[in-house]
Amino acid sequence: MKRRQLLAAGGACGACLMSPWLGAQSEWQTPGRFPRPPLDTDEGGLWALMDREETRLRRSPFVIRDPALQAYVQAVACKVAGPHCPDIRVHLVNTPLFNASMAPNGMMQVWSGLLLRIENEAQLAAILGHEIGHYLQRHTVERLRDTKSRTAFGQFLGLFGLVGAVGQLAMLAGMFSYSREQESEADRIGLTLMRQAGYDAREAARVWDNLLLEIKARKSGEAQNSSPMFATHPSAEDRQKILLQLAEANPGGEAREAHWQKTIKPFRHEWMLDEIKRRQFDETLALLNRMIARFAGEAEFLFARGEVLRLRDGEADADAALKDYLAAAAVGGEPAETHRSLGMIYRARNQRTEARTSFERYLSIAPRAPDAAFIKNYIAELGS
């Protein structure tokens, strides 16, 4: 796309922002596939930089290397991207924060903290659609042209790579974010794309509704600490309201929850342990309370909430944790660590028989656990 076409596209989308939903949907046309820009242009240089980052990303030990999950998410991206499918490459990255990003060369990153939080395929489609919206409107290129400082631009590029600390990423995202107009435009395009792909557009609003619960649970209310996306986007409240209004004007579509949950089940335990290790206890409790309310009878979530409460160790937390661990064991299919944690609480309360029984149960399920030697020592201390 030449610059004139780009401006024309931007102008068209500026118009859709002022139009009602259906009008915007009819006016906005998916652009054709983008040819690779010449290397001696600013956009060509940007693509080359992103190609280099993508090569590094492919080799990174942080990438989730599961062909089935990768193929699933890539397929959803393809459904949403339509004719741009061949140009978009999804990379799943093990990082316990809610984030996705789209580079101008078609490299998309989706982090495990996001995969853990979404409830169904439609919500995934909403996020991917939003990122593809940025790609189709070439927002990064616009930002490149707006960003005068080379240092600032270098930092902006860092957002798309794996380099840099996670904490810095949130700060950078806040400093060099897309404009509110660009975000709103990506939201609208994302909603259009997900609806065209057959998904229930109301799920886009639910993503932000769910995240609001976590934001409000934070004592500091500093949402950008938990996700660079919070720092780069309009407020979650505004976004949730607008998306819901737009979705209700265009009802129908599927959520595909069962399929999504079945697909991520093998990964959920590890992602939840990563989430717990962040030690953002109040925020994680908000997430787990939501999951337990929605997926009643899942031992994994009950165990995870018990872990958060045990580690937070506030007043009455141990009692609440014990209740969750016992509920997880009663449901069945609980992680082995449920029994280790039960043992820890019983041991701290000098309930020796219960502690020993729990530790023995843990070792019978996980005899090669890394802490097995330590647990055996506890059992010996507790006596017969």
Partner 1 sequence: MNKLLVLLLVALLGGCVSMAKVETGERAVGDRMTVTIEGPWNHLDSSSLGPAETWTMEGLPVDQLLLYPGLKDGQAIHARGQGGPNAKSFEFRAAMQPDEIVGLFEGMLTRDGSRFRLMRLEPVDFAGQKGFRFEYALTRKVDNVQLLGLGYGTVSKGELFAIVYTAPRLTFFARHRDRVEQIAKSARLKN
Buried b / exposed e over 102-124, threshold 16 CB at 10 Å, is bbbbbbbbbbbbbbbbbbbbbbb
Q: Please report how close the Cβ of residue 210 comes to partner 1 at its closest, in angstroms.
A: 22
Q: Return the number of the residue (259 or 277) whose C-beta is nearest partner 1.
A: 277
Q: Return the number of the residue (53 or 121) whose C-beta is nearest partner 1.
A: 53
What's the CA dihedral at 71, 74, 76, 79 to 10 degrees?
A: -120
Asked if residues 301 and 291 have their Cβ atoms less than 8 Å apart, the reply is yes
Q: Return the number of the residue (138 or 310) whose C-beta is nearest partner 1.
A: 310
Q: How many CB atoms lie within 10 A of CB 383?
A: 8
Binding-site ranges for partner 1 (CB under 8 A): 56, 59-62, 94-95, 162-168, 170-171, 220, 222, 224-225, 277-280, 311, 344, 348, 370-371, 373-374, 377
Give the whole-angstrom CA distance, residue 363 versus residue 373: 10
Q: Please report how close the Cβ of residue 308 comes to partner 1 at its closest, in angstroms.
A: 12
Looking only at the bridges linking them, the beta strands covering 89-93 and 100-102 are unpaired
Q: Please report how close the Cβ of residue 314 comes to partner 1 at its closest, in angstroms.
A: 12
- Token digits of residue 195: 């609806």
Q: Return the number of the residue (360 or 371) whose C-beta is nearest partner 1.
A: 371
Q: Which helix (H) or strand (E) holds 91?
A: strand 89-93
Q: Return the number of the residue (16 or 170) whose C-beta is nearest partner 1.
A: 170
Taking CB atoms within 8 Å and a gap of at least 24, the contacts of 47-52 are: 47/104, 47/105, 49/157, 50/103, 50/104, 50/105, 50/107, 50/157, 50/160, 51/105
Q: Return the number of the residue (16 or 318) whose C-beta is nearest partner 1.
A: 318
Q: Please report how close the Cβ of residue 371 comes to partner 1 at its closest, in angstroms.
A: 4
- Token digits of residue 374: 């330590």
Q: Please report how close the Cβ of residue 123 comes to partner 1 at its closest, in angstroms.
A: 24
Q: What angle do CA 308, 96, 57 make, to 5 degrees?
A: 160
Q: Please report how close the Cβ of residue 100 comes to partner 1 at its closest, in angstroms.
A: 16
Q: Please report how close the Cβ of residue 184 comes to partner 1 at its closest, in angstroms.
A: 27
Q: Return the number of the residue (95 or 101) whose C-beta is nearest partner 1.
A: 95
Under DSSP, is residue 383 helix (H, G, I), strand (E, B) or coil? coil
